[in-house]
Amino acid sequence: MRGDIRRGLFRGRTMEFEEKVKKVTRNTAEVVVLSELVEVLRRGEARGYIGVEPSGLFHIGWLIWARKVRDLSDVGIKMKILEATWHAWINDKLGGYLEMIHKCAKYIEHVLKSLGIDKGDIEYVKAEELISDPEYWRIVVTVAKNLSLARVRRAITIMGRKESEGILDFSKLIYPCMQVADIFYMDLDVCLGGTDQRKAHMLAREIAEKKKWKKPVAVHTPLLISLRPPLGAEEVDEVDLKMSKSKPETCIFVHDTPDDIAKKVEYAYCPMKVVEMNPIIEICKHILFAQNGFKLYVEREEKHGGDIYIESFDELVQLYSKGELHPQDLKRAVAKALSEILEPVRRYFEVNREAKELLRTMSNATITR
């Protein structure tokens, strides 16, 4: 049935067009909705964005959305990265110091260049550009007037906080309205974000329909789970599970040394034969095998089967679930592969003076969730 729907969407399109859609949708959790995305790509001259809170060191979970920024740009969507400085301030990131938040925004620009994501075709928009315009605040108020307090409270999770934390101070309730207003103010066709941003994007689509405004397509990327997910807790939600820079021992930063990566991976949760909720398997799926042509090289003693190249994620799952690949062998292979992928980042931050100084500043900063 799904194949029939896809064939219907692409009827009369060129193979090149279908490849564009595949590029946008690969390694995503969902697209809301596919038919609208096809229409956006057909029209051309589309505008897309992701809002990024400058909140501390860049970890490998962010590689997922960063690569999707590149995918969207490659298919002709003009991508903006909103440096959500005021949003980070509201969210108490980096101690709530705007000066530090702005330094972090510049640091993130350097990371994206070091990863090859920013090739000079990505536009950075500072939140100050939006908040200085009275029209922006008119949209914020319009959004707020179309939402109930309960709806706003439920959307607090887009900040990486639990719904109950919305009462910490009133500014937290302004945040969802600002994020929705960002979309309409910049007149966007496509909104990119992790699945934790879904509530904001759905609010934007609902309000667009109600107000007869342009309805944005939402592209959601999966979240990478923590190296040590709290699976034994009574209540575990998306906020608890995802990799977070506020718990540095449970996440891998893009400029961690090979030794640091190996140590963190060594202590990661990775039960024998268990694929679900396994952070090492998740890294393989969303980071390693998400690269075109990637093969995972696993070194093993001859008595354990000898060295092996794993050519696809499906092959990995089959081997691991059957117990034909030991967790320790997998961990060593993953740590080595990650170190190789991140080598350009480490090299960039060693030779670029501004980037090196910003990394030092961010590393010494007080990191809050």
Tell me the per-residue pLDDT of 105-163, one tens digit each, with 9 for 90 and over: 999 999 999 999 999 999 999 999 999 999 999 999 999 999 998 888 888 887 777 66
Same domain, 200 and 68: yes
At 5 the pLDDT is: 47
Give 66 or 5, the one with higher predicted confidence: 66
**Residue from 264, 300, 301, 299 nearest 283 by CA:** 264
Query: Do the domain assignments include residue 332?
Result: yes
Q: What are the contacts of 303-306 at 24+ separation with CB within 8 A?
A: 304/329
At 369 the pLDDT is: 39
Query: Do the domain assignments include residue 228?
Result: no
Three-class SS state of 317? helix
- Which domain range does residue 54 map to? 2-221
235: left (phi over 0), alpha (psi -120 to 50) or beta: beta
> What CATH code is carried by the domain that includes residue 57?
3.40.50.620
What proportion of the chain, given as a percentage, has pLDDT over 90?
Answer: 78
Question: Is residue 144 within 8 Å of residue 13, measured between CB atoms?
Answer: no
Cβ-based burial of 132 (10 A; exposed 0-12, middle 13-18, buried ≥19):
exposed
- Whether the predicted pLDDT of 99 surpasses 50: yes
What angle is formed at CA 132 by the lines to CA 127 and CA 134, rounded to 5 degrees?
A: 120
E-strand spans in the chain? 30-32, 47-52, 78-83, 123-126, 190-194, 217-221, 296-298, 308-310
Same domain, 205 and 344: no
Question: Is residue 235 within 8 Å of residue 50, measured between CB atoms?
Answer: no
Task: Convert the pLDDT of each residue in 149-186 to its tens digit.
Answer: 888 888 888 777 766 655 567 888 999 999 999 999 99
Same domain, 189 and 252: no
Same domain, 134 and 277: no
Determine the average pLDDT of the residues in 39-52: 94
**Residue from 69, 14, 22, 23 nearest 42 by CA:** 14
Same domain, 90 and 138: yes
Query: Do the domain assignments include residue 231?
Result: no
Same domain, 115 and 167: yes
Residue that terminates a domain, selected from 189, 221, 253: 221
Residue that terminates a domain, selected from 221, 250, 266: 221
Task: Convert the pLDDT of each residue in 318-341 to its tens digit.
Answer: 999 999 999 999 999 999 999 999
Sign of torsion over alpha carbons 243, 95, 164, 216? negative
Determine the average pLDDT of the residues in 74-87: 97
Determine the average pLDDT of the residues in 59-88: 97
CA atoms within 13 A on the CB side of 358: 26
Amino acid making up residue 82: L
Query: Do the domain assignments include residue 227?
Result: no
Query: Do the domain assignments include residue 257?
Result: yes
Q: Retrieve residue 294's tokens.
A: 């990637």
Amino acid making up residue 261: I
Q: Rounded to whole angstroms, how far apart are CA atoms 330 and 309?
A: 11
What is the tally of structural domains in the chain?
2
Same domain, 215 and 359: no
Query: Do the domain assignments include residue 226?
Result: no
CA atoms within 13 A on the CB side of 283: 30
Same domain, 248 and 115: no
Q: Rounded to whole angstroms, how far apart are CA atoms 169 and 8?
A: 49
